[in-house]
Structure 1
Amino acid sequence: MKINWKGVMPAVTTKFTTNDTLDLEMFAVNIKAQLDAGVHGIILGGTLGEASTLTNDEKRILVREAVRLVNGKIPVIINIAEQSTVAAKQAAQHAKEDGASGLMMLPPMRYKADSRETVTYFKSVAQSTDLPIMVYNNPVDYGIEVTLDMFSALLNDCPNIQAVKESTRDISNITRIKNRFGDRLAILSGVDTLALESLLMGADGWVAGLVCAFPAETVAIYALAKAGKIDEAIAIYRWFLPLLELDINTKLVQNIKLAEVATGIGTEHVREPRLPLIGEERERVLEIIQEGIKNRPVLPNYKQYL
């Protein structure tokens, strides 16, 4: 499947049972909610997917199940976050075998590669597969920035590097990318609390987190913004912001899974070393979620703009 890098692409959580196995039944419930809301793709194995705790077999099961559930309607993208180039190439091969439509790729994990090493890593993996790739550029959390000059080197040699998940937290970077590369590199905002601002500055889409619990509201903001219904998009976004801020937190996985429980499309179970929230921290997050649900807006017919 050719990927049209635009729209809302949920970075979905991984659902676990009380026995710490994959909960494919609840996974299916959530994927159906995303499809019903009109999302444009599904991303597996990111931070929200607790990828660092998943086995390779579990990742492959999730890809195959997601491919089955979406049934060709939208692309399924798997994140690659590996320590070695060999492992990243193998992950790309498995993704292809399992029916994934594309890849989201982080720079090498743990080792802080310099620019030459990072470019070589991305090139080596990209040239080992024909799957389209979105580079995940998040220097704040992962310590390596993919600069415009690095992107230039990649785009010249790797036609399948087609998009960036822009998580530098610098809104002006969207304009820099557009000025430098035009439409050659699609831009998807990777920060929930900067998503609408990014869309208004020309981002093509949104790799979202709180969409896991609030899919319709997330897609509505995107659709209305792109249709020029800015005031309507802003109104929903203002309601959404306290919830979106749950994504900008070390315990974003626990936070978002609590929100999924509240909206009936997920469970709270996380995989150790993560633990469920307790005490005052839990009460604070629940208060934000409950306030959001109490004031949940009535959405316009946003699907007419998709």
Structure 2
Amino acid sequence: MTHATYSGIWPVAPTPFHPDGQIDTEGMTRVLDCMIDQGVDGICILANFSEQFLISDEERALLTRLSLEHVAGRVPVIVTISHFATPIAVERARFAKELGADIVMMMPPYHGALLKGTAEQTFEQFRAVGEVGIPIMLQDAPLSGVDLPVPLLVRMAREIEMLKLFKIECPQAAAKLRALIDEGDDAIEGPFDGEEAITLLADLDAGATGTMTSAMMPDLIGPVVRDFLAGNRQAAIEGYARVLPAVNHENRQCGFRSAKAAMVEGGVIASDFCRHPIPPLHPDTRAMLMELLRPLDPMVLSWGK
């Protein structure tokens, strides 16, 4: 049994910077407005595709407050709080809750390639955050390198009351989603996919109710999810086939730089600067991204013009 509250498209908001590397706060508000105008069901901030690993603690606080105040309840907001240290993850959850966040998202505890939480340490960290009293989305992503077998996830879902959502973006995500839903049953309230929707159709077929993509074209991917969940399978397949070349180019060539490049093209933000050591998109890679996006006419390419 899944909950309609946790369905649809909940993309990650990119973090815009000025060319000198400072956060563009006005640009951040425009990013949020552009996403809401595209009919998103929710927004996630401070995630990996927000470049959270390049942002200071002070900037995190600024962006959390700014985003929640500006969205002002128009759509639910997820605040990413991942950290290796459990007390810091708990404090981040408290801060997000105090400011009015609807959900927090976190990966299992890890730091680099070799320092990873065990299954029990992962359970304990999520349980500690759950005691804050805000719904949690667990992010099962390759970046952490932590193995999260389905029995562990089901145990967590059943024993941690606030753990409501599961964003599965590991290899063979559809198979894991299917097993998670089968074994977890009612405890799995919001099975989501990620990775820019590169495996979206398979994941929906496995029972996913939502997706967390980038902010590049949620107005075109959202209808795929809604058609599929409404039983309009062929419409979903056709809609997905239309956007797949751009999704593939984003996922394999651009990463989080794609949404910012599209937002610059559409006048949403003024700069697609990424902090060092992230290099800018190669001009040819960027040109192909636009070549694939323009025929699709996503709102992002005209929103600010």
What amino acid does structure 2 have at the position aligned with 1:234? I
Secondary structure of the residue that 1:291 maps to in structure 2?
helix
Give the aligned partner of residue 129 of structure 2: 125
Q: Pick from 182, 203, 217: which aligns with 1:214?
A: 217
Specify the SS of the correspondent of 1:202: coil
The counterpart of 2:248, out of the listed 242, 245, 258, is 245
Cα deviation, residue 42, structure 1: 0.9
* Residues 54-105 of structure 1: CA deviation (Å, up to 9, x unaligned): 1222112222222222221221111122121111111111112222111001
How many Å separate the matches in 1 of 2:4 and 2:65?
Answer: 18
| 1:48 counterpart residue number | 49
Change over 3 Å in CA distance of 1:253–1:298 after alignment to 2:
closer
1:148-190 deviations in Å (ceiling 9; x for gaps): 2212332232100011001123212121111111232120111
TM-score (norm 1): 0.87
* 1:275 corresponds to 2:252: no
Cα deviation, 1:35-59, whole Å, max 9, x if unaligned, reads: 1221111101111111011122211
The Cα shift of 1:298 comes to: 9.1
Partner of 2:205: 200
Equivalent residue, structure 2, for 1:302: none
Residue 235 of structure 1 aligns with which residue? 238
Counterpart of 1:5 in structure 2 is 6
Structure 1 residue runs without a partner (length 5+): 300-306
Q: Structure 1 residues 37 and 298, CA, compared in 2 at 3 Å: closer, same or farther?
A: closer
- The answer as to 2:165 corresponding to 1:160 is no
1:15 shift after superposition = 0.9
Query: What is the RMSD of the two structures over their aligned residues, measured on CA atoms?
Result: 2.2
- 3-state secondary structure, aligned to 1:248: helix
The aligned residue for residue 145 of structure 1 is 147
Letter in structure 2 aligned against 1:195: L
SS of residue matched to 2:50: coil
Q: Which residue in 1 is equivalent to 2:296? A: 296
1:172 aligns with 2:172: no
Partner SS, residue 38 of structure 1? coil
8 Å CA contact 1:45, 1:78 repeated in 2: yes
Letter in 1 for 2:201: L
Q: Distance in 2 between matches of 1:124 and 1:76?
A: 21
Q: Which residue identity lines up with residue 160 of structure 1 in the other structure?
A: M
Determine the C-alpha separation between the residues in 2 that align with 1:69 and 1:196: 33
Residues 219, 298 of structure 2: 8 Å contact kept: no
In the other structure, the counterpart of 1:16 is 17
1:87-140 CA-to-partner distances (Å, cap 9, x unmatched) read 11111111122221110011112121221222222222222x1010000011x3
Assess, with a 3 A threshold, how the Cα gap between structure 1 residues 247 and 81 changes in structure 2: closer, same or farther: farther
Residue 259 (structure 1) aligns with: 262
SS at match of 2:264: helix
Partners of 1:3 and 1:223 in 2: CA distance? 11
Q: Which moved more, 1:148-157 or 1:217-226?
A: 148-157
Could you say if the C-alpha distance between residues 248 and 74 of structure 1 is closer, same or farther in structure 2, counting changes exceeding 3 Å? Answer: same
* 3-state secondary structure, aligned to 2:84: coil
Unaligned 5+ residue runs, structure 2?
300-305
Matches of 1:28 and 1:147, distance apart in 2: 38
Using the TM superposition, name which of 224-233 and 168-177 deviates more.
224-233
TM-score normalised by the chain length of structure 2: 0.88
C-alpha separation in 2, matches of 1:60 and 1:24: 12
Q: How many residues align?
A: 290
The 3 A distance-change label for structure 1 pair 91 and 115 is same
CA–CA distance in 2 between the matches of 1:159 and 1:24? 35
Give aligned-pair identity as a percent.
Answer: 22
Partners of 1:275 and 1:29 lie apart in 2 by 24
Partner Cα separation in structure 1 for residue 147 and residue 94 of structure 2:
26
